[in-house]
Structure 1
Amino acid sequence: MRVTNGSKIDTLINQLDLSDHISLFKQFFSRESALYIEGDQELHYRYIKALDAIEFKAPPKVADFTNIKLHLQKHGVLQFEQIFEIVKVVRYFRYFKNMELKGIIGEWMDKFVIEPKFFEVEKYFTHDGKFEENLDEILSALGSRIKEQKSNINSSLKRLTTSQKLSSYLIDTQVHLINDEECLLVRGGFNHVLRGAIVGRSSSGGFYVSPDSILKAKEQIRYIVQEREAIFYNYAKEFSSKLAELLPFISFCDKEFTKFDNYQARVLFAKNKNLQLVKSKKDSKIILEEFIHPALHHAKPIRVDFSKNILMITGVNAGGKTMLLKSILSAAFMAKYIIPMKLNEHKSHIGSFKNILAIIDDPQNVKNDISTFAGRMQEFSKIFEHRDALVGVDEIELGTDSDEAAALFKVILDELILRGQKIVVTTHHKRLAALMADRDDVELMAAIYDEQNRVPTYEFMQGIIGKSYAFETASRYGISNKIVNEAKAVYGDNSEKLNLLIERGSQLERELKQKHQKIDKKLEELRAKERDLKEEKQKVYEELEKEKNTLRESYESAINEAKQAARAGDMKAIHRAMNEANKKLPVEKKEQVKIDVAFKVGDNVKYHSKKGVIVAMKDKSEAIVEVEGMRVRAKTSHLKHTQLIQQKPRTDVNLNVDKRAGLKCDLHGMRADEATEVLDKFISDALINGWDEVIVYHGIGTGKLSYAVKNFLSSHPKVKKFEDAPQHMGGFGAKLVTL
């Protein structure tokens, strides 16, 4: 079944039980669209993921523009409903433009430049598509006249309902609307007291009568409506003419909205149903992690590694083999069309296939006189027409002898592999699986059976051939034990190779489960340790930040005190404040380095207060020492060398910085050039010594020296700002300079 053909796509969707999922997905489209997005799939996926990262409202439901554009091309007149379809699309794109997004979505929205002429049309439509009659005085006046006439009609009908003459004929006092005509419901014989036209009969035999007394008002309304319709037509004609000139812009919006609709439907469907967006990769490998088929509720997530050419699924009846096959094909189909699904997107990998083919249903058909096996052969013959396809076959040996089928299908599978096909099959029989089990390009998978409780688990184990548990299944579904036991006797022992494979598979299953349990336990321990380390690291970091902030605050407080003292010009207060600041700086602790001293025979050592010589060594920790003619066994930790240990030559470099800069610079009595030279040296020294604020005295005098100081400070690159000093510090005769 080619997925490029519409009817065959529908067939495949039904075969894979995806109909409900796809129908639900299509509800998120603003207008009907194909599942496949034409063009570069990688680029489409980038836009989808970028859109997935932002919050936005869904677009409105929009009609197809094919007929609209055709009318404009032929200079026809559009109806207001058709015009509003265009307005809805443009308004939605403007909403997105106003979000001022970055990245590829923002760049995309920048391409929409709305023509000013379009606003001349758009302004006449409300948010729900009604015509803004208030923008036209004539329409507004006509609308008021219609309301007036309707009010007259209601008043006339109310008078009739309260009339004494008519009261005995009235079935109820309500005003009914029948075929757009206001009517009263009356009994037979009403014509003696009421003149009017019968417009209908009630189920109880009453008459719906439109009184003649409101005919004049109705005629007025019809006349006014005709006038309004003529005005509306002129507007529609004018709007259509303007839109015809904007046809390239409308076509662009139509094309881009179709693309955007495909993107937003996938994003909002995934968000609404908590699904993942996955695109097929450029290979044929399939790895599913925590995948759940959309048709299943409360299902166990499956894990499949289908990296090889063939996957053979065996095992218990009703154990989920067919649904596993459908899950693999469904995942490939949904990844091909970027349809959201339930799985672990970070650990899953789904390849790309030109065709996805499914042989699942029983092809037997009485009408065309074809058997199950013959129908299967017809379906297999069609598979040979394709290349690079993913093929799923349920019950591959259905309809014929299993031994003959095993040989036939082994050769068929070999030929399909040569044609680049990737095949997943299910089977109850082990013959084919046994024939292909030792191949490197074949992956085995078995449905697991709970032998203790005698029920399938709907879980799967890779690398083994599973038993079908036909006898157990028969017992579970009501076949008597006597019949089952007789069948077991008739069946006898199977082939040695098959028994060996099954036994090996069971052993592998147990070993793998044990390993998984150990790995899971170890992994949980590591995760717990990781959490503890992270918590400890965060705690230490917080304590460190707290201590740093405390030190920073205390030091800044002391520095501010020093600055205040500097502004006051009190040198003693300056030094006192700086000393206080330095005291608050953290003191660097020097760690003592413990040096391991090695001892050897012949070393002169001191043992307690006695001197001696090492005459023997037991090991590194114990020595025999001869002290004043006696030999003593002593720990080396109690010994000290008595000879001088040569130290390595050391070079000491001392850097003396002459702190010449003060906080004041007095330029009184100097010439301008001499003053700038002294001031330049003073500022350099102040920068070296770390001062960020100094004061320069130049006096008032003739103003030449003050002018020279201002020019110099203005051009100096390290001077942030300067200003006249406060009155108590010199006023206009001094400058307070910030470095």
Structure 2
Amino acid sequence: MQERVMRVLEFDKIKEQLLEHVSSSLGRDKGQKLLPSSNFEEVVRWQEETDEAANVFRLKGNIPLGGIFDIRAHIKRAAIGGMLSSNELMQVASTVHVSRQMKRFIEDVAEEDVSIPILVEFSEQIIVLAELEQSIKMAIDDNGEVLDGASATLRSLRHQLRSKEARVREKLDSMIRSSNAQKMLSDALITIRNDRFVLPVKQEYRSHYGGIIHDQSSSGQTLFIEPQSIVELNNELQGIRLKEEQEIQRILIELTAHVAEYQEDLATVVVVLTELDFMFAKARYAKRIKASKPTMNHEGRIFLNKARHPLIPIDEVVANDITIGIDFSTIVITGPNTGGKTVTLKTVGLCTLMAQAGLQVPAFDGSEMAVFDEVYADIGDEQSIEQSLSTFSSHMVNIVDILKKVDSNSLVLFDELGAGTDPQEGAALAISILDEVYKRSAKVIATTHYPELKAYGYNREGVSNASVEFDVETLSPTYKLLIGVPGRSNAFEISRKLGLDESVIENARSHVSADTNQIENMISSLEASRRQAEIEQEETNELLRNAEKLHDNLQKEMIAFYDRKDQMFEKAEDEALEIVEKAKSEAEGVIRDLRKMRIEKQAEVKEHELIDAKKRLEAAAPTKTVKRSPVKQATKKHSFTAGDEVKVVSFGQKGLLINKTSDHGWQVQIGILKMKVEEEDLIYIGSPAPQEKRHLATVRGKEYHVSLELDLRGERFENALMRVEKYIDDALLASYPRVSIIHGKGTGALRQGVQDYLKNHRSVKKIRLGEAGEGGTGVTIVEFK
């Protein structure tokens, strides 16, 4: 991609925002080098990486990436035999620790059945260097200090050091507490100069303490003297410190050699952590701008679903649907200044660069982006004073360069094409340039003020007009993009709103050509039609949503009803079996008593009579119905046809086949519901009877064709009751759980008669007047048992 194009589209600002989300200098370094790619497979891979990281970030929230350091220089120096400092070794250990944490983190996420093949691939490349991490952390603390336990020798030396320091301080403390100390010392404290303990002695008492002068104050009135009595002790301390330093160096050299042993594994860890840090930085940035993963293609198709410019605050930017490369390859956007034409242009260009760089785009799910070889842009006033180029000349230099390189896999963005020169010549030149780029099969979005280009989209196939909406009432743009509708001049309307005399406006209109007036009227009509279509579409969508909701609720109620029915039936059978078992138990007791009586009292009761009585008792006991799943027959399979009566196995209900929906699916009507059912879930019952033998089938047919409501308005009282009686029978045959009877409000006589009839009907469970949304007191709702 051209550096100038990325600068004009402000891709660098996107990178600056992205870098705010990296966790290490490694991720920052990779982010600063980020460039869009024109390799389709590479872009798809980058998008999948970002999407995986975004999914994990959404599920887990916190990613253990803190504590990564750029240890590449440390590894190289260790490999050539140098010595790493304690801080550098601590950075190595910290980075190894993060790699181990990330490996375990990714494995844990993968075990939760989250599909993250790319992250798992990176995780498998990480070599766990727990031994190296432990050896460094046992010797060096988090602040980079070598610990006493790093070696037995160091522990012994530091013990000696502390012991000697205590003796020195004890001697100096006794000097400070002496009677003359307050007079001879500037301050009653022990200090250190040149790693040796000294006392701050006044100039005139220097000879009293003897010893070595190490320093003096800026005024010269205080000398820092090492008293003669502790010189030897300080010498011993120095000797121990030298040995300590030598031991520390030995330990650091040993640990550095340990790092050198794992140089290749550490280099791999650095590479993997760099990739992981950058992946999750892209995920965090996607969340910040509310972006989504676009589907990538290499056919030049762009569909942005509610796209926003990523550099404009979310609460201020207007989202737009933008499409190109599907039905048309060129869009010409017209409209007033500051209306959002250039923002739309930059949104498409910037989203393209972001997508090709592996970043998610600020649009809703379902967006689609193309991978272009090049994105060309001529946007803004790039007038060069040094080259003495006018605005027009500056634009033409860019356009000439674009025309030399553009091909079928290019995206071209022209802002105010042909501006800066005579309007008639500029419009002609703009049309010619658009034709030339169109012939190269490139995807083009151009903005212009020229009215001649409004007709351009109507005269050429593959070209669409577009405009940015302008609210004449508020005299401000809405920034809403209208594809298919050219922008119209609002000069007359704006002037009228601002108070310009009507006669002046009408005089101005007379100077506008008839063709221009016709175009403006056509655009006005298109805008009115579009607004009406949007209103009607919203109403249609609302009706569809309500219908789908009602259908879903009815289907759920029906399933719940049959479930409850089956449960109640099973419960009744269980209770019946329990009663019979109790009766059988009592009968057994009676028989035992009879046998006992026969044996004890020689009663005339035959054994076979007792057995017969017992069998009769057992035969009287009902058995519980066991539902069996239908077994697929190996015999010839029935070929279903529309109109067949079937049983839906999953619901246990009968239905009627309406039409075939797929190779193995049918639309089935069960009562008042229609639903799609797989053929394997159907059992054939029978076919419709011939026309001449449908006197019985006519009754059954009502099961499927009875309305959910009966309208009695305008009927005489006697005829109305006859219709109610017949309708109730039909509704019961259709297995409806609930129906509505419309009788109107009127005097209330018809309503009272209908309700009196329904109250005495044996199959009616409950009646009630309709609610506000159901028709109120003009409707009676009937629920069946």
TMscore range, shorter length? 0.5 to 0.7
CA–CA distance in structure 2, aligned partners of residues 514 and 296 of structure 1: 31
Identity of aligned residues (%): 19
Tell me the equivalent position of 1:114.
128
Tell me the equivalent position of 1:51.
53
Check conservation: 1:277, 1:338, Cα contact below 8 A.
no
**Which structure 2 residues correspond to residues 188-267 of structure 1 after superposition, within 5 A?**
212=226, 226-267=242-283
Q: How many Å apart are 1:336 and its aligned residue? A: 0.9
Tell me the equivalent position of 1:525.
543
Determine if the alignment matches structure 1 residue 428 to structure 2 residue 442. Answer: no
Tell me the equivalent position of 1:443.
464
**Residue type matched to 2:300 in 1?**
S
What SS is found at the alignment partner of 1:57? coil
CA–CA distance in structure 1, aligned partners of residues 188 and 582 of structure 2: 93
Check conservation: 2:53, 2:283, Cα contact below 8 A.
yes
CA–CA distance in structure 2, aligned partners of residues 419 and 490 of structure 1: 41
| 5+ residue gaps, structure 1 | 604-636, 639-739
2:96 to 90, 93, 98: 90
**Residue type matched to 1:232 in 2?**
I
Determine if the alignment matches structure 1 residue 305 to structure 2 residue 323. Answer: yes
Determine if the alignment matches structure 1 residue 504 to structure 2 residue 522. Answer: yes
CA–CA distance in structure 2, aligned partners of residues 322 and 427 of structure 1: 10
**Which structure 2 residues correspond to residues 570-589 of structure 1 after superposition, within 5 A?**
582=623
**Which structure 2 residues correspond to residues 137-216 of structure 1 after superposition, within 5 A?**
137-143=152-158, 212=226
Query: CA offsets per residue over residues 50-81 of structure 1, 9 Å max, x none?
Result: 33333251413534454344334434333344
Q: Could you say if the C-alpha distance between residues 199 and 149 of structure 1 is closer, same or farther in structure 2, counting changes exceeding 3 Å?
A: farther
Tell me the equivalent position of 2:42.
40
Tell me the equivalent position of 1:660.
none
**Residue type matched to 2:446 in 1?**
V
Check conservation: 1:171, 1:206, Cα contact below 8 A.
no
Query: CA offsets per residue over residues 116-152 of structure 1, 9 Å max, x none?
Result: 7645645535567665543423334445566667878
**Which structure 2 residues correspond to residues 531-610 of structure 1 after superposition, within 5 A?**
531-538=549-556, 541=559, 582=623
Structure 1 length as normaliser, TM-score? 0.64
CA–CA distance in structure 1, aligned partners of residues 577 and 570 of structure 2: 10
What SS is found at the alignment partner of 1:340? coil
Q: Could you say if the C-alpha distance between residues 62 and 561 of structure 1 is closer, same or farther in structure 2, counting changes exceeding 3 Å?
A: farther
Check conservation: 2:414, 2:447, Cα contact below 8 A.
yes
Tell me the equivalent position of 2:376.
357
| 5+ residue gaps, structure 2 | 593-613, 629-651, 656-685, 696-724, 727-785
1:79 to 62, 85, 93: 85
What SS is found at the alignment partner of 1:353? coil
Tell me the equivalent position of 2:17.
24
Say what the alpha-carbon RMSD is for the aligned residues.
5.4
Q: How many Å apart are 1:317 and its aligned residue? A: 1.7
What SS is found at the alignment partner of 1:40? helix
What SS is found at the alignment partner of 1:390? strand
Check conservation: 2:150, 2:251, Cα contact below 8 A.
no
Q: Could you say if the C-alpha distance between residues 14 and 180 of structure 1 is closer, same or farther in structure 2, counting changes exceeding 3 Å?
A: farther
CA–CA distance in structure 1, aligned partners of residues 463 and 159 of structure 2: 81
Q: How many Å apart are 1:25 and its aligned residue? A: 1.0
Q: How many Å apart are 1:551 and its aligned residue? A: 6.7
Determine if the alignment matches structure 1 residue 328 to structure 2 residue 348. Answer: yes
Q: How many Å apart are 1:446 and its aligned residue? A: 0.9
Tell me the equivalent position of 1:15.
8
**Residue type matched to 2:398 in 1?**
E
Tell me the equivalent position of 1:284.
300
Q: How many Å apart are 1:315 and its aligned residue? A: 0.6
**Residue type matched to 2:123 in 1?**
M
Query: CA offsets per residue over residues 207-256 of structure 1, 9 Å max, x none?
Result: 99867579999877766554444333323332333333333322322332
Query: Which shifted more, 205-214 or 307-316?
Result: 205-214
Tell me the equivalent position of 2:151.
136
Q: How many Å apart are 1:355 and its aligned residue? A: 1.9
Q: Could you say if the C-alpha distance between residues 490 and 211 of structure 1 is closer, same or farther in structure 2, counting changes exceeding 3 Å?
A: farther
Q: How many Å apart are 1:395 and its aligned residue? A: 1.7
What SS is found at the alignment partner of 1:53? helix
Check conservation: 2:64, 2:102, Cα contact below 8 A.
no
Q: Could you say if the C-alpha distance between residues 215 and 365 of structure 1 is closer, same or farther in structure 2, counting changes exceeding 3 Å?
A: farther
Q: How many Å apart are 1:289 and its aligned residue? A: 1.6
Query: CA offsets per residue over residues 347-379 of structure 1, 9 Å max, x none?
Result: x21111122232223121222222211111111
Q: Could you say if the C-alpha distance between residues 432 and 583 of structure 1 is closer, same or farther in structure 2, counting changes exceeding 3 Å?
A: closer
Check conservation: 1:279, 1:336, Cα contact below 8 A.
no
What SS is found at the alignment partner of 2:429? helix
Q: How many Å apart are 1:181 and its aligned residue? A: 11
Paired residue total: 586
Q: How many Å apart are 1:344 and its aligned residue? A: 0.3
Check conservation: 2:333, 2:447, Cα contact below 8 A.
yes
Q: How many Å apart are 1:331 and its aligned residue? A: 1.0
CA–CA distance in structure 1, aligned partners of residues 525 and 411 of structure 2: 32
Q: Could you say if the C-alpha distance between residues 90 and 66 of structure 1 is closer, same or farther in structure 2, counting changes exceeding 3 Å?
A: closer
CA–CA distance in structure 1, aligned partners of residues 161 and 618 of structure 2: 90
Q: Could you say if the C-alpha distance between residues 117 and 496 of structure 1 is closer, same or farther in structure 2, counting changes exceeding 3 Å?
A: same
Q: Could you say if the C-alpha distance between residues 590 and 369 of structure 1 is closer, same or farther in structure 2, counting changes exceeding 3 Å?
A: closer
* Higher helix content, 1 or 2: 2
CA–CA distance in structure 2, aligned partners of residues 126 and 323 of structure 1: 54
Q: How many Å apart are 1:37 and its aligned residue? A: 8.3
**Residue type matched to 1:515 in 2?**
A
**Which structure 2 residues correspond to residues 313-462 of structure 1 after superposition, within 5 A?**
313-346=333-366, 348-383=367-402, 384-387=404-407, 388-462=409-483
